[in-house]
Structure 1
Amino acid sequence: MSLRERFNISRLAIQYPWLTLGFWIAVCVAGLLAFSSLKYALFPDVTFPVVVVNATASIPTAQETEARLTQPIEETLQPLEAQGLNSVRSSTYPGRSIVSLSFAVGTDLDESVTRVETELKKLKLPDNSTYKITPVNLNESAVVSYAIENPKQTLAQLTTLAQERILPTIAQVPGVLKVNLLGVPAGATVTTPTAKPNVAEQAVLNAGSSAVRFGGRDALALEVVKRGDANTLDVVKAVDNAVVQLRSQLPEVQVNLAATQAEYIREATDSTVEALGLAIILSVIVIFPFLWDWKATLISALAIPTSLFGTFIVMALFGFNLETITLLALALVVGIIVDDAIVDVENIARHLDEGGKSPRQAAIEATDEIGLTVAAATLTIAAVFLPVAFMRGVVGQFFQPFGVTVSAAVLISLLVARTLSPLLAVYWLRPRPQKPSEQGLSGFVNAYRKLLQWSLRHRAIVIGIALLSFVAGLALIPIIPKGFIPKLDRGEFNITYTAPLPAIALNQAALAQAAQAQAAGVKPTTLPPGVDPALLAAAQKAPPINPLQDSLETAKKLEAIVLQSPEVESVFTTVGTRQQPNKGTLYVKLREGHTVSTTALQDQFRQQLPVLKNVTTSIEDIQFVDTGGDKPLQVGLIGDDPLVLSQTAKTIKERLEKLPGFADVTTTGAANTADRIVEIERRNARRVAYVSANLGENIALGDATDRAVAIANEVKPPSISLNLGGDSARLGEIFGSFGFTLGLAVICVLAVLVLLFRSWTDPLAIIFSLPLSIVGALLAALLTRSDFGMISIIGIIFLLGLVNKSAILLVDYTNQLRRSGLSRSEAILTAAPVRLRPILMTTAATILGMLPIALGLGAGAELRAPMAIAIIGGLITSTLLSLIVVPVVYALLDDLKLRLKGKREN
């Protein structure tokens, strides 16, 4: 018995039919239960742990504060780099230092806080200085907000009602971390209960620290923050149920939904599930015209649900959710998980049609022949996605579920194709007369054989065309738009603004702070940043100033313009959150079925919003993963002189504002002058000034970053160097991770192929099909104007596993025929036409399976489409080229091997 026969598990599956059927029935039942346990989410649970150290001291200038406060803190915390500390950013003002520590994705936040506390205890700070350590888990975000109104009650009365009747109910909902009450009027102090029962810790909002408006009216607002490990949809649904009960208990109070993440998550996941269902249908439909046998089609089709049920089990074991990334993985593998079954069933049907064999004999012989081929093809896909699961940085954490899900799906599909499919073929398939469609296919096969004969005689021309195609593909790279993650038309966005705090208001705040400290018997240690002690006397005599009220008036002016748009459904305004009365956010929700895209409407508002003196506005997308509020484009200027940094940043800002596509351009340190430095930014122990911008509809992040860097290089002095931040930096990280992952994936594929074929020439011939796929992927991205970024890159890696299948089918069968006694040319000209049908079937099934995703229909389609577009384009070119190029390369390498063997023998 040959090695192929000895390791053919199909023989065992056919020999023990009830055991095989029982196993897969159990997998389906367990998979159904596992599926019911999976939760819906928008993206994987990726946490960005941040620890903020807020230190104050009685120091009059920003430079001295930097030297005596900021730098000692940074140096003390430097050893934490060995424990996951990624970057250190700081903002220094006179008497105050804010140091933000970003830890690696997935680092335990509580442990990080403990380490920071331990290190800072070793530091001796200036006299009368204090510091506070605050953990920030960016994944613990507000998932839903409600506006609370009652025309018959004042906001103060409504505050009391909300505290006594509403907050405690919402706080006890499972998955809720805390509930913030916003819009509390001056004179009221509110304790906001956390979700943990029997815990005394309360979130206290200072009187008059925030204001809220909803639909152009003053209101209160409930902001529900979920736990980092809680599922958004579950939490929002439970909170909504609690709100329904509250409405019945408090009929006079209006509790209206103001903002939520759940609607878009639900729409995006529903759209992906629909694409998955359509992919399954199309993948099955394409099989029938090739096999022309409904039983063979059904056997192949059964591999899809069976493999998916097995994959659900793996997802449940790893704790994954049904979110955009894993659902995308499932939708993309539909065309692949049917491939193995197609190849097996097609080969069994061919053996049956040749005549003289029983279904059992045909199944055993066919699976003996094809077993290694199917195993090699599937294992190479798993080998490709093994490195994806270990990609570095944010990208790696984001796509680990993708890599694991795809690998699990294809390995389970291999097991289905080697056990269940042959067993069903034995009992369901019978020899068939040739159908008219097959006669038509025979003509196509004959034409292919003639083209292949010509190609084997003109190998130099074929290789030249292949190399020219690859070079042409590489030439497309500079003109393809490059982005981080596609902009999503979510039908919602934020308008943020920052108004200056009047100097006199700052001094009044200082006086109030000093009075509170004096009443408590504590000597005040410092004044707020920007406070001029010389103005304290004037502040004492001046009438009271309410910075929050001034800021609220600014919000009303912006709000009035936005509410005039017929595309806007509601505006939810929050002013003065996080103890910053001069800052506010307008959350804009567009009407369902809005006729203007979100991005186009953002550009309209940028033109329409009033220009208010000393007020900066920014129109921003809703971040699907909160990374701290950075704008997409961010260029950091690194140098020693803070004034030179500020002036250079200002010059770059003025240049960028004149270019189309750059919006809401801002800089740090704008208030710095030759007489007084009030703000010093630092990143990783170096002084820095940032130029940041949002991007319009018709400019990609990569192009925008290149232009900004070019301008920065033109205007900056030699003493300043550049460092990218925000998505601009992540774009570089992506391509760095891509290069590493791509190289590792190719090595893994080669290792698998060498192990299976026990030869170096065959794997090289197969690997040659990989560059041929790059051409189509890049060309498809260019034609569809699809940004080439993180999503497209995963599509390219996906292609590495896919395109090998066709080459493996050709090379393995050619080797079998040569071992049976055929010459090399005869083996190639026999194997390639025989394998043409399964190659076309699997390619067509995969392309049609991905077509619903590539068409970009439904919520979140902008995110899913680039990957499918890249894969479809790459599959088309690699299949067309590899059907000719791989046999030619196989022949060339075989000649080379013979020459080397001859030299050794001589």
Structure 2
Amino acid sequence: MSSRDEISISGRIAGQFQNSAITPLLGLVGLLLGMFAVFVTPQEEEPQISVTFANIFIAYPGASAIEVEQVVSTPAEQVLAEVEGIKHVYSTSRPGMSIITVQFEVGENRNSAILRLYNAIFSNEDFLPRNLGVMRPLVKPKGIDDVPIVTFTLWSDDPHWGSHELAQVAHSLEAELKRVPNTRDVYTVGAPDRVVHVVLDPQKMAAQQLSIEDLSRTLQAFNSVAHAGSVVAGNRQLHVQAGEFLQTADEVANLIVSMRNGQPVYLHEVAQVGLEADQPESYVWYGTGPGAKTLGDAEARDAPALTLAVAKKPGANAAEIARSVIERMEQLKGYIIPDNVHYKVTRDYGATAAAKANKLIGKLAFATFFVVLLVLLTMGWREALIVGMAVILTLALTLFANWAWGFTLNRVSLFALIFSIGILVDDAIVVVENIHRHMHGSQKRLLEIIPLAVHEIGGPTILATFTVISALLPMTFVTGLMGPYMSPIPINASIGMMLSLCVAFVVTPWLAYIGLRRRFERQQKAALSSHGHMEVAGGAVHGAPPTQSDATAHGVDDVAPGLLRFFERIYLPFLNSRRVVLNRFLLAVVVFALIGLSLMLVTHRQVILKMLPFDNKSEFQIVVDMPQQSSLQQTARAMGALTDYLSQVPEVVNYQAYAGISSPPGFNGLVRQYYLRRGSHVGDIQVNIVDKHLRDRKSHQLALDLRGPLQALVKPMGANIKIVEVPPGPPVQSPLVVEVYGPELAGQQQLARQIEALFNMTPDIVDVDTSVEHDTERLILQVDRERAVHLGVSQAALTQLLGAVLQGQDLSYVHTGTDKHATPIRVEFAPGDKADMESVLALKVTSLRGGLVPLADFVTVKKSGIDHAIHHKDLARVVYVTGDMAGKLDSPLYGMAAIYEKLAELNSPSGKPLQQFLIRQPTMPFDYAIKWDGEWQITFETFRDMGIAYSVGLLMIYLLVVAQFRSYVVPLVIMAPIPLTVIGVMPGHALLGAQFTATSMIGMIALAGIIVRNSILLVDFVSETMAGGVSLAKAVILSGAIRSKPILLTGLAAMLGAFFILDDPIFSGLAIVLIFGILISTMLTLWIIPILYFSLLDWQARKG
């Protein structure tokens, strides 16, 4: 075997590319690919998560909630539970309606999932008799792309303009905005319909012997059109249309509805007919706060408003679409948007995405600059330039890989790159530092030195790279919403590490040769002229190729004396001292004590455990629930009190209030299904606050400060409000959720009320609510069937009359040819005719004999309660209790722990101890039990999966090190620093008052790979040095003295990268782990690992 064959593959690769013409071309291609990725990768604020679910609406008119549950919901759930890929099936059974929600596993392909769902539903339509009265299912698929990225709120300060006039403008804008490429849903929230009102006069109807059936027949007869065919006349074919549609309210008013005594009876003679706005089922208004002045916005105070929402297509660039939509809106000002109508962009996720991306790219550049500056201060400007160019090329290639993998430019993928800076630069630093060290005093050619230098650290560098990847990569298998949310971190970092290794072995040697050659030649000439001859170490300059022994021996004695003395002082007491056993024992005691004290910070709640900390957003939402019998006006009055208060809060820019309907959903509202909230007793307020750079209070602190005063304002009105912040990560139903299961609904509701009371009594638990509805009354009009038959009145005639009286009845539509939405002809009665039940019972219905019969003759009124909604989860009846945490311990885990202890003392309605389940649904439905859900569930799943990923990563690291060192014990020494990271991580969190979160756990996992890298460099150096004939003790001391520089450099580089994410509320935990973990563990690694390795080899030598 030739000596050249003794050089490792890393050295041979460096030798091939260090002076190759193709190397700069490869680097140029890499840079161009990175630039391409920056321009084409879509920008979004949050990662795209494939969350597919669907709402299925099945109407069963007239049925009670229990009948809907038994006849519709339960059989439908059984069918849907068979569909592949479904995670949960929820249902809500109300009188006359079943709403079933199907949630698929995260990551399921939307199209195939919905196809399977449709197939299951419509292939089982025959599970109910056709004449039972159950309507056909309506399926509404939902996903993350249903969330609007831009909303415009239209309002006017013109007193003659209300929601009806604004709706006409909004509907015209919908079509124009839809023309913007890659827009998806464009719709208006809060727009009232236009209706041709036909307000009947009961007395005149009775005088003319007319019934609603007569009007219905007349409208349908005179509002039908048919294409009757064609005729040929004058050698031309003419198409024939039979009839014309009703087009105006006047045409409707002039319809002849009957003939009396040979005279026509027109509709306007028995009713008032007019085209007007529909009776309001919702109110929307807009107002501004003191913060609007900082933006120069026009002032508004509870102005009637509408909201125009725009969503984007999957995979499209949110920033680009939002910008285009806003530009189009500005162009339409003065054309479709009148001068007296104003609009405000009340949501712009495109701008926030672009701002976040630009800010993080700037941080990425600064992190790279400071890492290069670090190299500049320690090795020189040429070495710094080489490292900088290698890092930039690695980042460019990683950005291209990010795009090729299908990721977008979002906060997580960019934070992954910033976090990776510190470890991506490691390979370049180690290679350049070793080349720099080998050049010192050498008389070999640089083309010989570079392969030798790369060879020397090639093996441990490859191994170290794969240990970091082994630690990170298992995180890609984390399940649930958190898995795909955080997946850019392990994937981008792992790909970046591989690319960094390739760049270090291919491009960095070429850069080193080009950048360092001239200086090295000058140094050689200076040395030659100084000594008068050229000393050759290991052979002549042009002699035999370098060997492995040359590489090992070179530089061993080239150590600063002061550094050598320092490591002698810290190592020798544990190597050859007379008290060596005692010293090692005391060292072990101190280390284990520090680990124990660090962990006690968690048990004593000096470090709080939480899924993710609150972000500092510029918006929050107030969800309002009034008693169920509240009118729309009462709900609006309570919300008006809230908006009046908000208009005085300094940070508030504007608010949009929605009474009777929900606001355009965010991702949180989509998952919690706020879009299903409709009714006179519900509402919500969307509040926008000034940018975080323009206020002192964080959004979470503002929400805490507002909760008390706002609740005090509306509590006397019976309102229950929740302040909902934008979640920092994947949303859940509520931070605290208790699911109550049992054999009887009444017992479940009783138990839920008890748990609700415990929630209210527990400190820091707020926004408590249950799914148990308040008792509400309804009136049942009982028909005396025998009397009705005797009078000749059908129940169908009664039903039609009451429908028209109480809510109106759409009998047909006018065809204006200009309106985007159909305009119904609604037959109804005046408010005075339905003011109370006496007025209703005084109304007359036409009998089969032609006479008019008052309702009071055969109808009596009975009071009854409205059935409560019945909820199911995965085929089991359930009642929910929800809450949130606010205070010093704002982690739901601690509220849950406090309630858990109290519930352990609680007996169920059956008298037995209450069972509590943490991770699975109770399997036996014959006794009462609860299951904890909400943030606890996602926290458990995330930390369980991360713990498994951590374990798998450690196992893979162990196997890699075993393969490299061919020992089962040496890897344990190399991995010893991993538990030492706790000594830095936990005190670091406590010192900064930060919570230990999921991102902290990601940092711990990454840290395992990073810190093992240092151990590998030390142990490998000791082994290689001893192979060159150096004694064990000297090799240990030299390992610290020589390898301390690259170890400290790479550690400082990682810490510098982490400093740039320290200010982010979500990823600060990751930064703290890296900064404090690397700081402490690097120092302890340089101290303890050589001592441990010495002890192992010394013990093996004495034992052998």
Whole-angstrom distance in 1 between the partners of 2:1095 and 2:78: 61
1:715-748 CA-to-partner distances (Å, cap 9, x unmatched) read 3522433322222211111111111111111122
Whole-angstrom distance in 2 between the partners of 1:636 and 1:206: 40
Distance 1:720 1:825, change over 3 A: farther
- 2:365 counterpart residue number: 277
Aligned 8 A contact 2:284 2:658 in 1: yes
Alignment of 1:157-556 (within 5 A): 157-164=165-172, 166-185=173-192, 187-188=194-195, 208-215=280-287, 216-249=302-335, 250-252=337-339, 253-291=341-379, 293-429=380-516, 430=519, 442-456=561-575, 457=580, 458-478=583-603, 479=605, 480-502=607-629, 547-556=631-640
Q: CA deviation at 1:419?
A: 2.3
Q: CA deviation at 1:462?
A: 3.0
Give, as a single letter, the amino acid of the residue that structure 1 aligns with 2:638. T
More displaced stretch, 152-161 vs 47-56? 152-161
Distance 1:261 1:342, change over 3 A: same
Whole-angstrom distance in 1 between the partners of 2:570 and 2:313: 62
Whole-angstrom distance in 1 between the partners of 2:357 and 2:896: 32
Q: CA deviation at 1:887?
A: 1.7
Q: CA deviation at 1:768?
A: 1.4
- 1:193 counterpart residue number: none
Whole-angstrom distance in 2 between the partners of 1:755 and 1:172: 60
- 2:923 counterpart residue number: none
Q: CA deviation at 1:314?
A: 0.7
Give the SS at the match of 1:715: coil
- 1:116 counterpart residue number: 117
Whole-angstrom distance in 2 between the partners of 1:625 and 1:787: 15
Give the SS at the match of 1:389: helix
Distance 1:780 1:876, change over 3 A: same
- 2:984 counterpart residue number: 776
Whole-angstrom distance in 2 between the partners of 1:716 and 1:175: 57
Q: Which consecutive unaligned segments of at least 5 residues does structure 1 have?
A: 190-204, 504-546
Count of aligned residue pairs for this structure pair: 830
Distance 1:565 1:834, change over 3 A: same
Whole-angstrom distance in 2 between the partners of 1:502 and 1:6: 79
Aligned 8 A contact 2:625 2:681 in 1: yes
| Structure of higher CA gyration radius | 2
Q: CA deviation at 1:331?
A: 0.6
Whole-angstrom distance in 1 between the partners of 2:9 and 2:349: 55
Whole-angstrom distance in 2 between the partners of 1:334 and 1:442: 33
Q: CA deviation at 1:833?
A: 1.2
Give the SS at the match of 2:307: strand
Alignment of 1:83-98 (within 5 A): 83-98=84-99
Distance 1:670 1:136, change over 3 A: same
Considering only aligned residues, what root-mean-square deviation do their CA atoms show, in Å?
A: 2.8
Give the SS at the match of 2:45: coil
| Pairing partner for 2:699 from 583, 590, 598 | 598
Give the SS at the match of 1:87: strand
Give, as a single letter, the amino acid of the residue that structure 1 aligns with 2:153. A
Give the SS at the match of 1:461: helix
Whole-angstrom distance in 2 between the partners of 1:75 and 1:350: 71
| Pairing partner for 1:700 from 873, 891, 895 | 891
Distance 1:641 1:898, change over 3 A: farther
Whole-angstrom distance in 1 between the partners of 2:189 and 2:370: 50
| Pairing partner for 1:840 from 1026, 1048, 1063 | 1048
Give the SS at the match of 2:47: coil
Whole-angstrom distance in 2 between the partners of 1:113 and 1:135: 7
Alignment of 1:91-170 (within 5 A): 91-120=92-121, 121-122=123-124, 124-125=127-128, 127-130=132-135, 131-150=137-156, 151=158, 152-164=160-172, 166-170=173-177
Q: CA deviation at 1:572?
A: 1.1
- 2:806 counterpart residue number: none
Aligned 8 A contact 2:736 2:883 in 1: yes
Aligned 8 A contact 1:665 1:691 in 2: yes
Q: CA deviation at 1:672?
A: 6.5
Q: Which consecutive unaligned segments of at least 5 residues does structure 2 have?
A: 197-276, 288-301, 528-556, 662-675, 777-863, 909-913, 915-926
Q: Answer 1 or 2: which has greater helix percent.
A: 1
Give the SS at the match of 1:179: strand
Q: CA deviation at 1:654?
A: 2.5
Whole-angstrom distance in 1 between the partners of 2:141 and 2:1014: 52
Q: CA deviation at 1:712?
A: 3.3
- 2:684 counterpart residue number: 585
1:806-833 CA-to-partner distances (Å, cap 9, x unmatched) read 1011011111112112232222122221
Whole-angstrom distance in 1 between the partners of 2:166 and 2:436: 75
- 1:510 counterpart residue number: none
Whole-angstrom distance in 1 between the partners of 2:764 and 2:424: 43
Whole-angstrom distance in 1 between the partners of 2:928 and 2:564: 65
Aligned 8 A contact 1:776 1:878 in 2: yes
- 1:654 counterpart residue number: 757
Distance 1:154 1:65, change over 3 A: closer
- 1:558 counterpart residue number: 642
Give the SS at the match of 1:566: coil
Aligned 8 A contact 1:184 1:220 in 2: yes
- 1:821 counterpart residue number: 1029
Whole-angstrom distance in 2 between the partners of 1:331 and 1:829: 35
- 1:47 counterpart residue number: 50
Distance 1:60 1:419, change over 3 A: closer
More displaced stretch, 826-835 vs 321-330? 826-835
Aligned 8 A contact 1:445 1:836 in 2: no
Whole-angstrom distance in 2 between the partners of 1:819 and 1:169: 77
Q: CA deviation at 1:312?
A: 1.4
Q: CA deviation at 1:125?
A: 3.0
Q: CA deviation at 1:835?
A: 0.5
Alignment of 1:541-690 (within 5 A): 547-577=631-661, 578=676, 579-592=678-691, 593-609=694-710, 610=713, 611-623=715-727, 627=731, 630-671=733-774, 678-690=868-880
Q: CA deviation at 1:549?
A: 3.9
Please tell me whether residue 865 in structure 1 is matched to residue 1068 in structure 2. Answer: yes
- 1:531 counterpart residue number: none
1:440-497 CA-to-partner distances (Å, cap 9, x unmatched) read 9753442123211222334333333333333333333333211122101112100111
Please tell me whether residue 794 in structure 1 is matched to residue 1002 in structure 2. Answer: yes
Distance 1:485 1:360, change over 3 A: same
Whole-angstrom distance in 2 between the partners of 1:264 and 1:660: 35
Percent sequence identity over aligned pairs:
24
- 2:902 counterpart residue number: 711
Q: CA deviation at 1:283?
A: 1.2
Q: Tell me the TM-score normalised to structure 2 length.
A: 0.71
Aligned 8 A contact 1:138 1:626 in 2: no
Distance 1:302 1:15, change over 3 A: closer
Whole-angstrom distance in 2 between the partners of 1:6 and 1:333: 26
More displaced stretch, 386-395 vs 891-900? 891-900
Distance 1:581 1:439, change over 3 A: farther
- 1:743 counterpart residue number: 951
